[in-house]
Every structure is written in C-alpha cells, then in structure tokens.
Amino acid sequence: MKMIEDIRSVFKRDPAARNVFEIITCYSGVQAVIIYRFTHLLWRYKLYWLARFISTLARWITGIEIHPGAVIGRRFFIDHGMGVVIGETAEIGDDCMMYHGVTLGGTSWDKVKRHPTLKDGVIIGAGAKILGPITLGKNVRVGSNSVVVRSIDDNCTVVGIPGRILKKKVSDDDQFDSYAASTSSSANDPTVQAVNSIIERLADLDEQIANLSGVSEEAREDLKEIENK
C-alpha cells in the first residue's frame, strides 16, 4: 500500500524519525501526502469538489498544497514541508523527495499539461521553483532556491537562477545539500571556474602593468641624465 511505503521511506531519509506514531502525528509532509492519496482517489472518481475541499483543509493543517489531480508515485517524502505547492497536472515518479518552499508550478492558463514531470529519484532542495511542462530526468537534484524552466537530463545536479547544470553525474555517495550548494560542489561549477580564471588573469595583468610602469620611470630618468649631459 502506498501510504505504508510513504511512512517507511521516512526512516531512510530522516535520521530524526524515531517511530511510526511520531511520523504520523508530527510530520506535516507525511500527513499531507496521506491526505493527498485519499483526495486523489476521490478525484479519479470525479468527486472533484469534495476532493478540493478536503485538500484545502489539508493545506490549512499542514501548510502544504497538493492538488488532488496531481499524479504522485510511491515512497514520496516531503521534509519539513511548509510552503510546498504541487499543481494539478504535475507528475512525480517513485522515490522522490522535496523540502519546504518547493513549487511545481504552471506557466499557462490553458487547460493543458502545464506543470512539471519528475522522474524517479528526483530530489528538490528548499525553496526551489520548477515551472512549466518540463521534465526532470531520473535522479536529478535541484539545489536550494533554484529556478528551473527547462527540461533536465537524467543524473544531473542543477543550481542557480535560471537553473544551470552543475554536474552531469550523480553518484549514490554524493551528499545532497537541501539548503544550498556546498563549497565543494561550487568548486566544480564551470561558471565559478571561469570567473576565478578571469580574476587571476586580471591580477597578472596588474602586475605586468606595474612592472612596465617601473621600467618606464627608469627610462625617463635615463633620458633626463642624457639630456643634462
């Protein structure tokens, strides 16, 4: 059963989780997902108003808004959760995880597919915004406060506004920072490397100019001595 799997997945993703009772009663992300499972069932049976009404109550209680029309896979976990918004046509695969402040938002008022699709194993950091009918491939990781507006291939790490690919391979050993890109990760950012290279080059040019200035002063003094003679 999906609800049981959702609860069990918390133990693997949150070291603070101690027992099932605590998870059910104290984890707003789990509560929101459990209620979503029920409202999605109502939605499938075309009980639209009832599904939306219960979903609204869940938002008041948990601070998390999941549209009952969204399609969410197994073992889905929202950590902390406050401020998460998941739109009507969003699709989320198995074993996905997101943190507080995440938005899976639409970019159209038309009644079409307008929200993102997340493949299996996607992790989205706190405050990130994924906008439009784009697709994040398997095991994609999105850094904190990033804004992603284009599709991302499998096994990539994305950071920044707009989101850019920081790393094209994600290993199981990589630790994910839900709040910001770590210092070690930033060191691999090609943009950061390019800026650092420019700064180093400017420093070299400053030194060369200073040396040339010294040579120029010596030349002037020599010229004055010649003129005096």
Digit-coded pLDDT (tens) for 123-143:
999 999 999 999 999 999 998
Cα separation of the two ends of the chain: 102
Global model pTM greater than 0.85: no
Total domains present in the chain: 2
132 plus 58 within the same structural domain: yes
pLDDT value at 92 more than 80: yes
43 plus 114 within the same structural domain: yes
197 plus 151 within the same structural domain: no
38 plus 94 within the same structural domain: yes
Burial 105-129 (b: 16+ CB within 10 A, else e): bbeeeeeeebbbbbbbbbbbbbbbb
Contact 73, 8 (CB under 8 A): no
Is the Cα torsion angle 66, 12, 158, 168 positive or negative in sign? negative
Average pLDDT over residues 103-112: 87
Q: What is the pLDDT of residues 35-82, one digit of tens each?
A: 999 999 999 999 999 999 999 999 999 999 999 999 999 999 998 889
- pLDDT value of position 217: 66
Contact 161, 147 (CB under 8 A): yes
Q: What is the pLDDT of residues 158-211, one digit of tens each?
A: 988 888 888 676 655 555 555 545 545 555 556 666 677 788 788 888 777 777
194 plus 177 within the same structural domain: no
145 plus 47 within the same structural domain: yes
Q: What is the pLDDT of residues 42-54, one digit of tens each?
A: 999 999 999 999 9
